[in-house]
Amino acid sequence: MSLRRRTLLKVIVLGDSGVGKTSLMNQYVHKKFSQQYKATIGADFVTKELQIDDRLVTLQIWDTAGQERFQSLGVAFYRGADCCVLVYDVNVMKSFDTLENWHEEFLKQANPPDPRAFPFILLGNKIDIDGGNSRVVSEKKAKDWCASKGNIPYFETSAKEDYNVDAAFLCIAKAALANEHEQDIYFQGIPEAAVPENEQRGGCAC
Amino acid sequence: MLESELHDLSDDADYAASQQQGSASMMLGSDSAKQSSPRDGAEIVFQKDNVAIHPTQFASERISGRLKLIKQSSSLFMTWIPYKGHNSEARLSDKDRSLYTIRAVPFTDIRSIRRHNPALGWQYIIVVLSSGLAHPPLYFYSGGVKEFLATIKQHVLLVRSAEDANIFLVNDFQNTLQRTLSSLELPRAVPLACGPSDMSVDESILNENQERADNGVNSGSLSVTQFHGRPRHKAHDPARDLSIQVLEKFSLVTKFARETTSQLFGENHSNGFSANERRTHIQANLDHSKNSSNVVENTSEKSPVALDSHEFDNLSLIWGKPRQPPLGSEEWIIFLDSEGRVTDSEALRKRVFYGGLDHELRNEVWGLLLGYYPYESTYAEREFLKSVKKLEYENIKNQWQSISSAQAKRFTKFRERKGLIEKDVVRTDRSLAFYEGDDNPNINILRDILLTYSFYNFDLGYCQGMSDLLSPILFVMDDESEAFWCFVALMERLGPNFNRDQNGMHSQLFALSKLVELLDSPLHNYFKQRDCLNYFFCFRWILIQFKREFEYEKTMRLWEVLWTHYPSEHLHLYVCVAILKRYRGKIMGEVMDFDTLLKFINELSGHIDLDATLRDAEALCICAGENGAARIPPGTPPSLPVDDGSFYVQQDDEVL
């Protein structure tokens, strides 16, 4: 497995419409921000290559439509995912409230081998808006939710200001890589106990 | 074209009359054949101008010419000589023209004539020779297929095939008259050793010089005039008349035709799909190809250079009509009576289908195409409707405008719907001057119309993609109420695209998969193999009618063409097939998986040739015909739903 020259890691970005999914991805991959992104219709992805330790990985980051009505399409797009990134807007309570739904829906549709161990990451985006004054979801509230989901790593970001975006995606890549590693072992029939789960979580050191 | 005409020529008085006459002259013909005198003068019994072939997939590359039936003694010959100088296309060389020239093919060499009556476009025929070879389709741009067949009927035995009323068998004595004329048996193999040397050539039969004078056609190096044998000879052994040179000529023609047609299909012969799979493709109930390939199969083993059925399928493909310039104001007036009624809505729809509209006409015509204004309404009635509808719009708009902030606080569904719309309008076509800049009032109008629509159709509400559909409508109508009602009319057709259960999208994607299966089974098999049959990679195309795939002007052009519902209300699905076909070689050649395919399709945005795609789509739609329509489930958008009751299924657990 380690002899593979390149590893493809599939990452799915989910969250309500307008929380900044496309912007985060474009900031990370193209180092650009635009106020004029169009609402994503259907799905699309961008790729980025990066080196993690001694491994060259290709991150394939999937962008999907944010409206709930399109969730049923997920089946086609979520399969084979290595990591799921949940995004909410710290200025919009509803986008935080629906995280539960996105989390649940993803697991239902992607149907990973071990749902409890599947890596998620939470991003609270748009912290730049109004100097933080219009914020309605506190950092503590977000972290509490992450803790309730098995210590999901949490990042506060601004796609517009390019704040914390690289760090967040590096963590995402590491989580995906760890998960991929775990899955390889899983498919080889080696007992799960061989993978220290806690260490994997801690790998992000967020 | 009337449905009945597709199958029964006997309704045709001309034909019925000629039938009697024909059988009489046939008897006479057989008699006189025995005592033929080849030096009898030639007589042109039928002549038709503007009969054309399309050597490539480009409908503009049309070679027009004159079709003639020439009778000499008791024998009938067919000629088709292209005009010179009529085709400005530089790509068509004189060599191409003379390659296709049909110089006096005797009817004893013709096995059958297959007639095609497309639902729209031009009638054409395919002449299949005894050898199994076929000429490329001859399109009758000025009509006259009926007369052509009737004239033949007067001079040679022409009977309808029992299997297919559009196939006319020539000199099929054995099957029809139960006669055993061994001398007329079709050749088992073409006797290549039989050269032309034992045949005399009567140049005067062919009026070659006259043809040249008429049309200025240089007969070129491929001239085969020397192979037109004497009628007497043919009556005894038609096989002898098929010379090596004729075969060479036709193998060139068919090779060229195959190469050019395969460009349309993007047929990659090294893609690993077996001939068997191609055969499956042929037999996929494309009615004309099915039947005509039967004809070919009967003879294909007998001739060393016969067409295979695959080739024939391509040959029988018809190309979409050339696109026309957009309909302009001067021409538009012609469609209206003095009070402003559209006198012939079908003619208008046809015209718009082939050319679209000048931008300044869109404001007036879109409402008609969308069914907001009836075609039969007068100027005055439209003005009246406009004012009535304006009041109605204001009333609906007032429903949400009168919601106070206190009320809104307790009205989550409203707040969220409004929030979603506001998020989307600020990212809809902002690079367009009409919508650009801060505090652009048109953005607010977009929002107001969408919010009003979500009250007008509360069950459907607002869904992403709607702002894309509304944007060009507001841009064109430039009036809030008019844009609203045109949007309402459009949503009558496309509303199911946004159903909560996505059933409208699923039925269209399903129909698309069925059409690809019919029209390109290797591609279908490829998608099946790669687990891509959900066609989600075409989701955006269908959801918002290619809005993100073309620049703004082209999108408007495409929409008005689709709205005519002219060859089919589901033309958009054929547009999907046409685009996929254009890139099928790349898709299969690069062995794209689902992810790569989705990315590839998304990145086609801005790179699709609209006019060429529309021509392909039209041709595919006509090719598929009833078989295509049968693959689209009833109620597939933009068709009206079969059962109104279950149209918009409301789900309690979702608020938007």
**Pair B375, B443 in one domain:** yes
**Pair B408, B342 in one domain:** yes
**Distance of alpha carbon A34 from the chain centroid:** 21
**Domain finish residue from B498, B528, B543:** B498
If one compares B336 and B59, the residue with the highest pLDDT of the two is: B336
Domain tally, chain B: 3
Domain of B584, in residue numbers:
503-646
Q: Which of A91, A109, A87, A105 is nearest to A28 (CA)?
A: A87
Residue B220 domain-assigned (yes or no): yes
Instruction: Report whether pLDDT(B313) > 80.
Output: no
Give pLDDT, residue B171. 76
User: A76 and B594: CB-CB below 8 Å?
Assistant: yes
User: B539 and A42: CB-CB below 8 Å?
Assistant: yes
**Distance, CA of B480 to CA of B458 (rounded, Å):** 19
**Distance, CA of B307 to CA of B111 (rounded, Å):** 14
**Domain finish residue from B498, B531, B551:** B498
Residues in A touching B598 (Cβ below 8 Å): 43-45
Interface mutation vs chain A, best among B418, B539, B592, most A CBs within 10 Å: B539
Instruction: Report whether pLDDT(B252) > 50.
Output: no
**A116 interfacial to chain B (CB closer than 8 Å):** no
The 3-state secondary structure of B202-250, one letter per residue:
CHHHHCHHHHHHHHCCCCCCCCCHHHCCCHHHHHHCHHHHCCHHHHHHH
B384-399 per-residue burial string, b: 16 or more CB within 10 A, e: under 16: ebbeebbeebeebbee
Instruction: Report whether pLDDT(B235) > 70.
Output: no
**Which amino acid appears at position B402 of this protein?**
S
Residue B315 domain-assigned (yes or no): no
- Give the pLDDT mean for B371-396: 97
If one compares B261 and B443, the residue with the highest pLDDT of the two is: B443
Contact B116, B122 (CB under 8 A): no
CATH for B148: 2.30.29.230
pLDDT class of B599 with cuts at 50, 70, 90: very high
Give pLDDT, residue B95. 62
pLDDT 10s digits, B604-626 = 999 999 999 999 999 899 888 88
Distance from the Cα of B491 to chain A's closest Cα (Å) equals 17
Residue B534: CA count within 13 A, CB half-sphere:
16
Residues whose CB falls within 8 Å of the CB of residue B480, separated by 6 or more in sequence, listed in order: B393, B445, B448, B449, B474
- Give the pLDDT mean for A69-76: 82
**Distance, CA of B89 to CA of B304 (rounded, Å):** 34
**Pair B183, B223 in one domain:** yes
- Structure-token pair, residue B196: 């032309």
Give pLDDT, residue B91. 53
CATH for B526: 1.10.472.80
pLDDT class of B126 with cuts at 50, 70, 90: confident
- Structure-token pair, residue B2: 């009337």
Contact A121, A177 (CB under 8 A): no
Residues in A touching B651 (Cβ below 8 Å): none
**Pair B72, B196 in one domain:** yes
**Distance, CA of B656 to CA of B654 (rounded, Å):** 6
Residue numbers of A between 126 and 165 with CB closer than 8 Å to B: none
Residue B105: CA count within 13 A, CB half-sphere:
27
Kindly report the CA angle at B303 between B301 and B309, in degrees rounded to 5? 55
If one counts every other C-beta atom within 10 angstroms of the C-beta of residue B338, the result is 7
Residue B284 domain-assigned (yes or no): no
Strand-by-strand arrangement of the A83-89 sheet: A43-52, A55-64, A6-14, A83-89, A120-125, A154-156
**Pair B393, B530 in one domain:** no
Cβ burial, residue B42 (10 Å; 0-12/13-18/19+): middle
- Choice among B55-69, B119-133, B190-204, B311-325 with the minimum mean pLDDT: B190-204
**Pair B616, B482 in one domain:** no
Give pLDDT, residue B94. 64
pLDDT 10s digits, A175-197 = 999 887 665 544 444 444 444 43
Give pLDDT, residue B40. 58
Q: Which of B493, B423, B426, B429 is nearest to B463 (CA)?
A: B423
Q: Which of B609, B604, B580 is nearest to B513 (CA)?
A: B580
Instruction: Report helix, strand or coil for B389.
Output: helix
CA distances from B591 to B474, B529, B577, B630 (A): 42, 11, 18, 31
Q: Which of B501, B540, B599 sits opposite A41 (nearest CB)?
A: B540
pLDDT class of B410 with cuts at 50, 70, 90: very high
CATH for B333: 1.10.8.270
Give pLDDT, residue B310. 37
User: A42 and B536: CB-CB below 8 Å?
Assistant: yes
- Structure-token pair, residue A21: 């999914």
**Pair B179, B45 in one domain:** yes
Instruction: Report whether pLDDT(A118) > 60.
Output: yes
**Distance, CA of B204 to CA of B206 (rounded, Å):** 5
pLDDT class of B96 with cuts at 50, 70, 90: low
**Domain finish residue from B473, B498, B523:** B498
**Distance, CA of B323 to CA of B300 (rounded, Å):** 37
**Of the ranges B58-72, B76-90, B112-126, B594-608, the best mean pLDDT one:** B594-608
Residues in A touching B594 (Cβ below 8 Å): 76
- Give the pLDDT mean for B370-376: 97
**A17 interfacial to chain B (CB closer than 8 Å):** yes
**Pair B161, B216 in one domain:** yes
Distance from the Cα of A76 to chain B's closest Cα (Å) equals 8
User: B424 and A39: CB-CB below 8 Å?
Assistant: yes
Instruction: Report whether pLDDT(A33) > 90.
Output: yes
User: A38 and B427: CB-CB below 8 Å?
Assistant: yes
Domains annotated for chain A, with CATH where assigned, are 6-202 (3.40.50.300)
Residue B487 domain-assigned (yes or no): yes
**Of the ranges A119-123, B296-300, B529-533, the best mean pLDDT one:** A119-123
**Pair B67, B163 in one domain:** yes
Give pLDDT, residue B169. 86
**Distance of alpha carbon B533 from the chain centroid:** 24
Interface mutation vs chain B, best among A26, A35, A59, A70, most B CBs within 10 Å: A70
DSSP state of B108: G
**Distance, CA of A117 to CA of B91 (rounded, Å):** 64
- Average pLDDT of chain B to the nearest whole number: 75
Residue B633 domain-assigned (yes or no): yes
pLDDT class of B120 with cuts at 50, 70, 90: low
**Of the ranges B121-130, B264-273, B610-619, the best mean pLDDT one:** B610-619
**Distance, CA of A159 to CA of A143 (rounded, Å):** 20
Q: Which of A42, A44, A60 sits opposite B543 (nearest CB)?
A: A42
Residue B8 domain-assigned (yes or no): yes
**A36 interfacial to chain B (CB closer than 8 Å):** yes
User: A69 and B498: CB-CB below 8 Å?
Assistant: yes
Residue B309 domain-assigned (yes or no): no
Instruction: Report helix, strand or coil for B320.
Output: coil
Distance from the Cα of B538 to chain A's closest Cα (Å) equals 9
**What is the share, in percent, of chain A residues with pLDDT greater than 90?**
68
- Average pLDDT of chain A to the nearest whole number: 86
Residue B264 domain-assigned (yes or no): no
**Pair B604, B534 in one domain:** yes
Instruction: Report whether pLDDT(B86) > 50.
Output: yes
Q: Which of A42, A67, A72 sits opposite B463 (nearest CB)?
A: A67
